[in-house]
Amino acid sequence: MNSSNSNNGQSNSGKSSNFYNLNQDLGLHFLELARIGSSKAPVEMEEDEEEAPKELNTINSSGGFLVVAPDKLSVKYTSVSLHGHDVGVVQADKPAPMRRLLYYFEIYVKDAGAKGQIAIGFTNEGFKMRRQPGWEVNSCGYHGDDGLLYRGQGKGDAFGPTYTTGDTVGGGINYASQEFFFTKNGAIVGTVSKEKEMKGCLFPTIAVHSQNEEVHVNFGQKKFAFDVKASYISFSAHAYGILSFSISLLPQSVILSDFLNLALLYIIFDAIYQEYEAQERLKQQMTIEKISLPPNISYGLVRSYLLHYGYEDTLNSFDLASKSTIPPICIAQENGFDEQDVVYALNQRKTIRQLIRNGEIDAAMNKLRDWYPQIVQDDKSAACFLLHCQKFIELIRVGALEEAVKHGRIELYKFFGSAEADDPFDDLVQKCVALLAYERPQESPVGYLLEESHRDVVADTVNAMILSTNPKMEDVHGCIQSYLERLLRQLTACCVERRSANGGQGEAFHLHRLLNSSRET
């Protein structure tokens, strides 16, 4: 063998090895997606289970100086105040919820008593229950007798007006701006920055300190005097307004999917969120109205998404409708790819995706054998495994149980019974086989396998495998995700990191939930 042939052989061997390694990485990625498909909903439910205060805590209070009414929503000072520590203090039964944009509660002063030494604020779990909120560290309180704000120091700061009998006073936490805010009779009194050490659980707290002082608490059981929604940006409505404007820039003949609408929304999400904080803090000059999203940018991102997933027909309609209205831009070209690379195997990827989404797995396998035999030559690869699993699922879907059992014995049995703990192949095989045990498999715990989304996972797997055969595709992420999805992941990571920097406080970030809430607004 001459040196030229030897070099070619080494080159081909190297390419084959690279393709095998890339194929394995891609396969395991999508295999994990298929396996965890049933665990997505509970994660969001867990975020929703945070309880808000509903009543006063009659156990942890300075009970010798006050009486809490049977409804646990009213408190009265019943002693005679002789010393500075003769304070009647009571916390709410639960801390203020942290996984939201803000929290708020109110008190109504039924009787200011002898001295009007009533206070409203927030304290931590270890707060001394013989002290006014704000007199100890890790607490903050707005006091009625002098209108001062106390934040764990010896003296208060000038803050707002005093309050007395007949007044309604509120206290809240703005987690977006990390501030406390207080209101009187429906109007904002002022805001103050939360101390960094006050990032743990904080309890709504009320204090009474002179004879006959009496207040009623409203944790949201009835309408607040302060209109929270009107005074703060309705985040979802504002975001959806910007979304609608962005979509209006695109051709009217093109109907975008929910995901694409969502994508356009979150391209500018961070700017909208920045504006929210700006209006709360009154410190930032730039507003969302000054931030523009050029239509050719959104066009390029949408186009890259359609190209990546092989939606050829939609892409052609999109290009045709956009040709006369939007200056062209190619996101891929700006990242070192030419047009030929971007449209790689577009028609073939479209055809195979349609077959898989229609449940025609045998036909999809035949096309792969004809067009991309290297993808299916290893019958134990993750791609082949997912295709065999999907065929089993499709047979269950149409009630062909005997044929499903036969197919499982031939194609799935080889993946069953791995000695490795938590083996993804073994786990998914067991879930597929479990479908046989139910008369109505769609309603079973493994019924998610019969959903359209599972077909999409398999179709996405094959699409990524085909993209990996492109000689110019060196980055595995380029096969897995479109530019649009990478952008969304970056924005999501920034929002998650931002919330983490605030000690886990603030509204949890869920793309689809925010899209749905903006629709309802």
pLDDT digits (tens, 9 = 90+) for 8-55: 444 444 445 554 555 666 777 888 888 776 444 333 434 456 789 999
Q: Environment class of residue 459 by beta-carbon count within 10 Å: exposed (0-12), middle (13-18) or buried (19+)? A: buried
Residue 323 has pLDDT above 60, yes or no: yes
Of 126-130, 338-342, 381-385, 481-485, the range with the lowest mean pLDDT is 338-342
Residue 339: its pLDDT value, please?
55
129-143, 247-261, 485-499: the lowest-pLDDT one = 247-261
Of 264, 258, 275, give the one whose Cα is nearest residue 513: 258
Report the residue count for the chain: 521
Q: What is the pLDDT of residue 246?
A: 44
Model confidence, pTM: 0.59
Q: Is 17 helix (H, G, I), strand (E, B) or coil?
A: helix
| Secondary structure element (H or E) that encloses residue 246, with its range | helix 235-248
Q: What mean pLDDT, rounded, does the chain reach?
A: 79
Residue 457: φ, ψ to 5° = -60, -45
Give me the residues paired with residue 215 across strands: 75, 109
- Is the pLDDT at 270 greater than 50? The verdict is no
* Domain range summary for the chain, segments of one domain joined by +: 14-45+345-469, 56-218, 235-343+484-500
Q: For residues 260 and 482, what is the distance between their CA atoms, to the nearest angstrom? A: 12
Sorted by sequence, the CB contacts under 8 Å of residue 168 that are 6+ apart come out as: 106, 107, 108, 109, 184, 185, 186, 225
pLDDT of residue 101: 77
CB-based burial label for 221 (10 Å; 0-12, 13-18, 19+): exposed
Judge whether residue 249 has pLDDT over 50: no
Q: Give the C-alpha separation, 471 to 478, whole Å.
A: 13
Q: Are strands 157-158 and 148-150 parallel, antiparallel or unpaired?
A: antiparallel
- High-pLDDT (> 90) share of the chain, %: 44
Rounded CA-CA distance 13/24 in Å is 17
pLDDT at 122: 97
Picking from 513, 508, 481, the residue whose alpha carbon sits closest to that of residue 97 is 508
- Does residue 465 have a pLDDT over 70? yes
Backbone angles phi, psi at 233, to 5 degrees: -60, 130
- Does 344 have pLDDT greater than 50? yes
Q: Cβ contacts of residue 277 below 8 Å, gap of 6+?
A: 176, 177, 284
- Can you tell me whether residue 267 is helix, strand or coil? helix
Kindly give the residue spans of alpha helices, DSSP state H, lying in 258-330. 258-267, 269-281, 295-308, 312-322
Q: Are 142 and 120 in contact (CB under 8 A)?
A: yes
Three-class secondary structure of residue 422 per DSSP: coil
Note whether 99 and 507 are within 8 A (CB): yes
| Banded pLDDT at 320 (limits 50, 70, 90) | confident
Q: What is the mean pLDDT of residues 98-118?
A: 93
User: pLDDT band for position 85 (50/70/90)?
Assistant: confident
Please tell me the predicted confidence (pLDDT) of residue 93. 95
Can you tell me the mean pLDDT for 389-418? 91
SS3 86: coil
Run of H or E residues at 179 = strand 179-184
**Architecture in CATH of 56-218:** Sandwich (2.60)
When computed from its CA atoms, the radius of gyration of the chain, rounded to whole angstroms, is: 31
Contacts of 135 by beta carbon, 8 Å cutoff, 6+ apart: 141, 150, 152
**Sheet containing 148-150: which strands, arranged edge to edge?**
56-61, 88-92, 203-208, 119-123, 139-143, 148-150, 157-158
Give the pLDDT band (50/70/90) at residue 90: very high
Closest CA to 63 of 226, 249, 208: 208
